[in-house]
Chain A
Amino acid sequence: ETGVTQTPRHLVMGMTNKKSLKCEQHLGHNAMYWYKQSAKKPLELMFVYSLEERVENNSVPSRFSPECPNSSHLFLHLHTLQPEDSALYLCASSQDPGDGANVLTFGAGSRLTVL
C-alpha cells in the first residue's frame, strides 16, 4: 500500500447507527487531517493531529469524534448523525504542519450517506 488509504470507500448509515471511518498513511508523515467535502462547497477542515496530538478542532459537532492512536492511523467515529452530514470525508497527511510549503497528500475519501 502506498500513499493515504481510506476505508470504507462508501458507507450508508441510519441516524441511530454508530460507525467509524479509517485512514492510514504510509508516507511517514507527522500530521493527519479530516476534511469534509460537500457538493459545490469548499473543503471544510474538521480536525488536525500533529504527532498524535489534536491541534485543531474546527467547531465540529460532538457527533463526530476523532481518534489518532499513532502517527500512521486516524479514525473518525460517527454516531447519531443527521442527513446533512452526508458528504465525502477526506483524510490527508503532511510532513511538517509548521512549514508554510507543507503539502497535503489526500486519500480518495469515504462517501457517507445518512438516511
Chain B
Amino acid sequence: GQNIDQPTEMTATEGAIVQINCTYQTSGFNGLFWYQQHAGEAPTFLSYNVLDGLEEKGRFSSFLSRSKGYSYLLLKELQMKDSASYLCAVRDGDYKLSFGAGTTVTVRA
C-alpha cells in the first residue's frame, strides 16, 4: 500500500519561515506534488518535483530526495493568507495520485 506522512499541524509567525516535511513509501514513483487548500475551497497546485533537488517558485520552494523518500515544502516570508492546509501527494502510476492527510499551517500576527 501507499504511505505518505506529514505533520498534522504547524504554527508560525508572520514573516517567518516554515518547512513542511513529507516522507513517502509507495509502490512506484512518477513525481511528487504539493497542493494548498484553504478552508472550504478547492486544493490548488503549488509545485511538482520528479528529479532530486530544489524547485523555487517565489516565496515557496519544494525539495525532493528520491533515495530517501523525502520532500519538503518551504514557505518563506509568511503572510496571514498562507494559513491553509498543505497536501503532499505522490504519483505512483499513470493515473493514481496518493495524498497525505495534509498539514494545517496557522500563521499568527
Are A and B genuine complex partners?
Answer: yes
Taking Cβ atoms with an 8 Å cutoff, the residues of A that contact B are: 3-4, 31, 40-43, 45, 48, 50, 55-56, 90, 97-98, 100-109
CB-defined contacts of B109 to chain A, threshold 8 Å: none
| Contact assessment for A40 and B101 in the assembled complex, using a CB-CB cutoff below 8 Å | yes
Beta-carbon contact of B48 and A103 below 8 Å: yes
Binding stretch for chain A, among B11-19, B36-44, B61-69, B76-84? B36-44
How far does the alpha carbon of A100 sit from the alpha carbon of B48 in the complex, in Å?
A: 10
Which of B30, B44, B95 has the most chain A CB atoms closer than 10 A to its own CB?
B95
Count of chain B residues near A, Cβ 8 A: 26
Residues of B within 8 A of A (CB): 4, 8, 30-31, 33, 35, 40-45, 48, 50, 87, 89, 91, 94-102
Contacting residues, chain A, for B102 (C-beta < 8 A): 42
The reply to whether A98 and B94 contact each other, CB–CB distance below 8 Å, is yes
Whole-angstrom CA separation of A79 from B35 in the bound complex: 31
Is there contact, CB below 8 Å, between B99 and A40?
A: no
B42-A109 in contact (CB<8A): yes
Residue of B nearest to A103 (CB): B45
Check if B87 sits within 8 Å of A108, measured CB to CB.
Answer: no
Question: Considering the chains assembled together, what is the distance between the CA atoms of A9 and B33 in angstroms?
Answer: 26
